[in-house]
A and B are shown apart, each in its own frame.
Chain A
Amino acid sequence: MADVYKALADQTRRALLDELLERDEQTLFELCSRLAMNHDLTPSRQAVSQHLDVLEQAGLVHTERRGRYKFHTIDTTPLSQITERWRPRKATP
């Protein structure tokens, strides 16, 4: 599985995850509109598509082709490795 940390390092990719958390099963068109509307981000469609590829390789986004269109869904499972690695420590008295 590709690097989750690298996938999260980019502002646009974090914004894409934020929007997918709002609503699953979004098309590329909807995601591009939401980036522009809610985050003031206007990368090219091609760039958004590449960001989604990085997120997909990291296991954070799944794509599903249904009929003739393609939907994107968030999967937060890979993020658990972050908290497992750095468990919050209890403050010592």
Chain B
Amino acid sequence: MKLQTVSIFVDDQQHALEFYTTRLGFTVSADIPMGEHRWLTVVDPERPDSTQISLEPKGHPAVVPFTDALLADGIPFCVLGVDDVQAEYDRLLALGETFTQPPTAMGPVIIAVLDDTCGNLLQLAQWVG
């Protein structure tokens, strides 16, 4: 058994698709029309068999209060591993993206917290051992 797909709730699927591909570098794995919404997943292009991220519309009424509460307290929804947090931070800032926490050493990891512009915070983490 393996973790095949995880969901991230997004305000707008098309906008999320653009952010996760052009800004974060993921590639589309599935894009299937499902009525009003799409089954839309992205994956690391270097590891197409790895866990996919489903960019899930915020259809359920419980989702918006949940994601808004996490956002207000600065809690990241998931962790993305990177080789160099500082480099990603500089690159994304130059593109006009927003961080709620700059690269910060936290013991064995350096972390930063990025706004995905779709209603979530993402933690970028670099393992330094």
Enumerate chain A interface residues (CB-CB to B < 8 A): 23, 26-30, 33, 37, 45, 49, 65, 67-71
Contacts and interface: CB of A to CB of B under 8 A. Distances in A.
A27 B107 contact: no
Given A68-B68, A69-B100, A29 B75 contact: yes
Contacts of A70: 72-74
Given A70-B73, A70-B74, A30 B101 contact: yes
Interface residues of B, number: 19
Contacts of B107: 37
The main secondary structure of chain A at its interface with chain B is: mixed
Contacts of B119: 68
In this complex, the member of A28, A30, A70 whose beta carbon has the largest number of chain B beta carbons within 10 angstroms is A30
B73 A45 contact: yes
B72 A68 contact: yes
* A-B CB proximity, top 3 nearest: A27-B74, A29-B74, A28-B73
